[in-house]
Amino acid sequence: MGTIWAAGTYVQGDVCDSVKDTATSAAGTSGADLAALPRDTLAIAAEDFAQQASQLLFTNDLKRAMQALASTTNHLQQAEPTTGEAANRAQVQQLSQAVDTHFKQAETACGLPPDGLRGTTLGLAVFATSTAGSTIKG
């Protein structure tokens, strides 16, 4: 049991390091930097979050936060920018806020201050999607 616990603790540390790195990435970036982001930034992030959640063994709060973060980020990634209706834009804004909320939950589970994604590289992609207006696919 000790070896499994040690492995679980190690994985939790790695996931929390990743959360911390995401939270501190690109401080001071601006919307002008959005063009430099890969088009699939949200898809890559969702895949990374899902993989990290699947590796967590004993940290239920962190695991739930990472699973929700992966799912919501994936759903947001499927949003297709358009000049769509206000209801579609509102749904995308809600998804963007949910991604930020789940990220704050992961930060809290890691013992970090719940600052969220604003001002981070991933935050640029998340909130740019929400301000562009979108229609959700699927």
What is the DSSP-derived secondary structure letter of residue 43?
H
Tell me the backbone φ, ψ of residue 120, rounded to 5 degrees: -110, 165
Domain that holds residue 91: 2-136
Tell me the percentage of the chain whose pLDDT exceeds 90: 14
Give how many domains the chain has, as a whole number: 1
Q: Is residue 66 within 8 Å of residue 52, measured between CB atoms? A: yes
**Structure confidence at residue 131 as a pLDDT band (50, 70, 90):** low
- DSSP tag of 1: -
Query: Each residue of 30-48: pLDDT tens digit?
Result: 444 544 555 577 888 888 8
The model carries a pTM of: 0.76
Residues of the chain by 3-state class (helix, strand, coil), percent to 5: 70, 5, 25
Top pLDDT among 84 and 99 is at 99
